[in-house]
């Protein structure tokens, strides 16, 4: 079982444009779609498609369109009522694969909402293989929420605690390392921008241009207490750094349709391979295969295993 927590879920609306976006102009769309989403929800979608047991934990009233969307999709979930509508995010996708996102802030979660969300995640995670804490935090939630929940999971569950993966950015990402090893997760999945923001050892452009440099920065986070860093580098693939080594994985170029959900798919690919006992390099291989497949699909579509091509991924040790 893999439990995911999406603290700030959304209804992701994607509009595919006929031509390049022109600021201030009138745009024509070739299609539009909507899907209940959020980083943790997207990871759970990919796991369900691969036959891996999962439970998505999220805030949301029973009649909220996001929760109804999960019911319609048959995605196992536990939604906690908050008495407010969940947010909608809008993605404008241009023909060349360029995407522009407008993300709403989400509902304000009270201290009691936060306590129940954390308690539900802990209860659901007992004996699970992984707990995935993913996405932005909604208004009213302290930046240290994921760090505190990481500590809570380990303290309350003890030997029954799962491995913990976190995919977030900004202050919530930095807070994971503020309390030292106690709050450092077993896995983090930054992109190049987030890796630069967290380590201050280089820039997004420098890390994407030089994966070895990115691996060096990721190594500093492993030295600070996290078990592994899966850093996605856009078209340059991804690097994985653990206490046992570092690897780079690349995929042949794909025709990009949308980058939305690519990082979530990469994390899901890693967890899927890990749940099947794969080695670290092969977990990275499936991560890049999932991420590349997601880029080739429209909107926030999450690929199935059958749509990925791990055999096309090249993995080298750094």
- Cα three-residue angle 143-144-148, rounded to 5 degrees: 155
Residue 238's SS3 state is: strand
- At residue 189, what are phi and psi to the nearest 5 degrees? -130, 75
Question: How many alpha carbons fall within 13 Å on the CB side of residue 17?
Answer: 20
| Secondary structure string (H, E, C) spanning 6-63 | ECCCEEEEEEEECCCCCCCCCCCEEEEEEEEECHHHHHHHHHHHCCCCEEEEEECCCC
Q: Which of 12, 61, 167, 264 is catalytic?
A: 264
Is 210 one of the catalytic residues?
A: no
**What is the dihedral sign for C-alpha 303, 307, 313, 317?**
positive
What's the length of the chain?
318
Looking up tokens 């693939």 gives 237
Residues ≥6 apart with Cβ < 8 Å to 20: 94, 95, 96, 98
- Residue 30: other Cβ atoms inside 10 A: 12
- Residue 143: other Cβ atoms inside 10 A: 16
Bridging pattern class, strands 77-80 and 245-250: unpaired
For helices 111-125 and 145-157, what crossing angle results, to 10°? Answer: 40
Long-range contacts made by residues 24-28, C-beta under 8 angstroms, separation at least 24?
27/92
Catalytic residues: 264
């Amino acid at each position: 079982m893999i439990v995911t927590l999406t603290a700030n879920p959304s209804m992701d609306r994607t509009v595919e444009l006929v031509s390049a976006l022109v600021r201030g102009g009138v745009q024509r769309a070739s299609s539009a779609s909507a899907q209940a989403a959020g980083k943790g929800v997207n990871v759970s979608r990919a796991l369900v498609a691969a036959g891996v047991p999962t439970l998505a934990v999220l805030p949301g009233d029973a009649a909220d369109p996001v929760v109804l969307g999960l019911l319609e999709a048959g995605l196992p979930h536990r939604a906690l009522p908050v008495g407010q509508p969940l947010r909608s995010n809008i993605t404008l996708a241009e023909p060349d694969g360029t995407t522009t996102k407008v993300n709403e802030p989400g509902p304000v979660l009270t201290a009691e909402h936060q306590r129940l969300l954390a308690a539900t995640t802990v209860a659901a995670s007992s004996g699970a293989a992984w707990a995935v804490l993913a996405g932005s935090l909604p208004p009213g939630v302290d930046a240290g929420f994921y760090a505190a929940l990481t500590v809570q999971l380990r303290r309350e569950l003890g030997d029954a605690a799962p491995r913990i993966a976190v995919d977030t950015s900004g202050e919530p990402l930095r807070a994971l390392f503020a309390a030292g090893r106690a709050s450092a997760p077993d896995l983090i999945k930054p992109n190049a921008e987030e890796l630069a923001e967290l380590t201050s050892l280089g820039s997004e452009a420098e890390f994407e241009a030089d994966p070895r440099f990115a691996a060096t920065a990721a190594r500093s986070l492993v030295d600070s207490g996290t078990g592994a860093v899966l850093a996605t580098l856009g078209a340059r693939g991804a690097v994985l750094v653990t206490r046992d080594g570092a690897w780079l994985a690349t995929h042949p170029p794909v025709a990009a349709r949308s980058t939305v959900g690519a990082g979530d798919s990469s994390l899901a690919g890693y967890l899927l391979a890990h749940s099947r006992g794969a080695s670290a390099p092969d977990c990275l291989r499936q991560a890049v295969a999932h991420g590349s497949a997601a880029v080739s699909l429209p909107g926030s579509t999450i690929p199935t295993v059958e749509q990925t091509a791990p055999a096309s991924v090249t993995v080298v040790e750094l």
